[in-house]
Amino acid sequence: MRRRARGLADVRLGSALALGLVACGGAPNASNEDEAPIEIVIDDLGVPHVYADTDEDLFHGYGYQLATDRLLQLEMWRRFALGRRAEILGADFKGSFGATALHDDKLVRLFDLPRWGKLDAQRMREEYPERWRLVQAWRAGINRRIEGLGGDLMALEIDTIAERTGSSPSSVRRLLGRAALRLGERLGAPGGAR
């Protein structure tokens, strides 16, 4: 019987768990190396539907499609968990819970989220092995998509936007730069985003 991702709550729970694991490292122990069929259908509204024979394959396909659609967002969440968003946004960019992005990064590092993520992952592996396998399959799907891309992830995102919009990568960079500057001005970052 084919399985399909069911509820938004399941997706959010899986995303929350896996983002911590993606951010905190560790080698994935699940993959779709046996090439079991995973079908990803994008409907007329652009919503992906993932179909697979096993739960592990379903999560692998979901991770792959998530990385296809939202790699930049995953990267920014990874940087948040590691306290490294200011490297991209600029030290003076308005923070989420601190005054600036640099302040956010310092607070995140103070709480040592990677350490807590690793402890949570260890507990999940020991107490909930089935959930652990699903999260690892999800993560393996993300990593498989990233491996298929190769190179600088930010440049790849820019190239993808350029391809989908019919623009050149340099025009997308200029547009994103102007958008970041305007966003920084609206959010009150001194001098805008840098």
Interval 76-127: pLDDT, tens: 888 899 999 888 888 888 888 878 989 999 999 999 989 999 999 999 999 9
Please count the structural domains in the chain. Answer: 1
Percent helix / strand / coil, the chain, rounded to 5: 65, 5, 25
pLDDT tens profile 121-173: 999 999 999 999 999 999 999 999 988 877 666 676 777 777 877 888 777 77
Backbone φ and ψ for 72, nearest 5 degrees, come out as: -60, -40
156 in any annotated domain: no
179 in any annotated domain: no
Q: Which domain holds residue 46?
A: 3-92+113-150
Residue 54: which CATH number? 1.10.439.10
Q: How far apart are CA 169 and CA 181, in angstroms?
A: 18
82 in any annotated domain: yes
Q: Is the pTM of this model over 0.75?
A: no
